[in-house]
Amino acid sequence: MFAFGGALYVWGGAGPTSEIVDARLYRLHLGGGSSSLVWEIAKTKNSMRPPPREEHAGVLYRGKYYITGGTLADKNLTDDLWCLNMSNLKWSALRCGPMARHCHNMWAARGKLYVLGGRIIEKHIQNPIKASHSIDDFHSYDIETRSWSTVDVFGDRPLDISEYTVLPLYHGQEDREDPYSVIVWGGYCEADQTRGTPSKEQLQAKYGDEWKEMCVSYRNRMLRFDTETLAWTLLKPTRELLPKAQSFAAEIQSTHGQTRLLIGGGYGFTADGKTPDEAADDIDPVILAMYKMWDTKVSQSNQTPAASRNIYEVTIADERGPCSALDDLKGKSWAWKFFDMPGEKRPSVHVDVSACSPTLHTALDLTFEDFLEPACRSVRPDDDSTLLGVRMKLHNLQGRKDLNGQVGRCGPWLEDKGRYQIFLSAYEPGGPASLSVK
């Protein structure tokens, strides 16, 4: 489902009898009152159209709707890519993707379509249960050059994932074309059993310290993908949230460096495996119990999924770390010095996400110097040798009173303005990443 021009559109999926037979485009006009909320068939202009399917991925981008992959009516998977021009409702076939998959997802940014994960079926495996498994494949499609390419993973790995939730984040309501980052939440992982049931040692070799997360088929990981740097960041909740797949997500508000989200629904593990996850205190014992099920091989017989009725409010930091500004800062200011610092001397940003309450997050932007005595107790004009990189708290600002109380780092002395440039670690989209202060 997607929204365009004051209407909702639905394409694809299976009917009430689970038959995949419908390739029509449905439209629901909004804004005319409840009496006008009637679904209709939006007629496409040409006879060429994608075959009906379910479990495909779709995204609306720059006035065009793209779909790829999915399960066809004959139960085979497809790797095709189609584009529907919303201005004339014409379908066109594009270059097929790198592999046939389903239960994946897709988003678009900066002229590219990004396709992550999903499930594939190994045709050489006779057992259909063991033939299907989730993957971590990450590819992009360049809309201008019409070519596919592998996307290297920087930062935290998404790991094998399917049936996950994608939420693009934008700079304000006016700029809704290219997201600055994408949130990936939850999902489901069907273990790769093509070479037999994986052992504990095999999982440790493949996933490292995160192997325990792979003991449970449903995911409770939240990651942030930066569309500029292509870097992944794992956001760690302050409390555990039970794993879910196929949840919904919506952005409530982004302001002053904080983004509020709603995440809810879906299916997965609940407090007792059969009822909605109403008691947060029951989460840890359930997760621990799942880990104990693992000895030397996978045992998933007691994992009983259930639908969830819960909705959570999540607040994350709209992080603007130094890496996203590398090209602007390189060789031009004090901030570049931090890129040359090894190990513990380099500043780091750690974000704790509260998944079950509006207690927000804890964001730290610290170096070892922050735990020492301050370099000085007073601020003197033109004192770069002492103040460069020192943390400072803003106060008595008249033009930007909303920034009073924020903590930033002192940059260079601006001779022409008679002020210091202060770099802020969190900012409001459209607002300053730095400002000059007396």
Residue 371's pLDDT is 59
Residue with tokens 């002395």: 413
How many Å apart are CA 359 and CA 312, to the nearest integer? Answer: 12
Task: Decide: 111 and 143 in contact? Cβ < 8 Å.
Answer: yes
How many Å apart are CA 365 and CA 391, to the nearest integer? Answer: 10
pLDDT tens across 92-131, in order? 999 999 999 999 999 999 999 999 999 999 877 777 667 8
pLDDT tens across 276-285, in order? 333 333 333 4
Beta bridge partners of 224: 183, 233
pLDDT at position 228 over 60: yes
Higher pLDDT, 233 or 285: 233
Contacts of 395 (CB under 8 A, 6+ apart): 404, 405
pLDDT tens across 358-402, in order? 334 344 455 555 556 666 777 888 887 778 777 788 888 887 888
pTM: 0.67
Contacts of 129 (CB under 8 A, 6+ apart): 193
Higher pLDDT, 302 or 34: 34
Residue 14's pLDDT is 83
Residue 58: pLDDT band with limits 50, 70, 90 = very high
pLDDT at position 267 over 50: yes
Beta bridge partners of 109: 112
Distances (CA, A) of 101 to 58, 137, 219, 245: 13, 10, 19, 17
Q: Tell me what the pLDDT averaged over the chain comes to.
A: 75
Residue 196: pLDDT band with limits 50, 70, 90 = confident
Higher pLDDT, 300 or 249: 249
Query: Strand, helix or coil at 158?
Result: coil
Averaged pLDDT for residues 414-431:
71
Dump strand ranges (E) for 334-424.
348-353, 361-366, 391-393, 407-414, 419-424
pLDDT at position 272 over 90: no
Of 48-52, 163-167, 210-214, 254-258, minimum mean pLDDT range:
254-258
Residue with tokens 């170096």: 367
Share of residues in the chain with pLDDT > 70 (%): 71
Beta bridge partners of 366: 348
pLDDT at position 141 over 90: yes
Q: What single string gives the DSSP state of each residue in 340-360? A: T--GGGS-EEEEEEBSSSS--
Distances (CA, A) of 144 to 81, 112, 119, 141, 175: 14, 8, 28, 9, 21
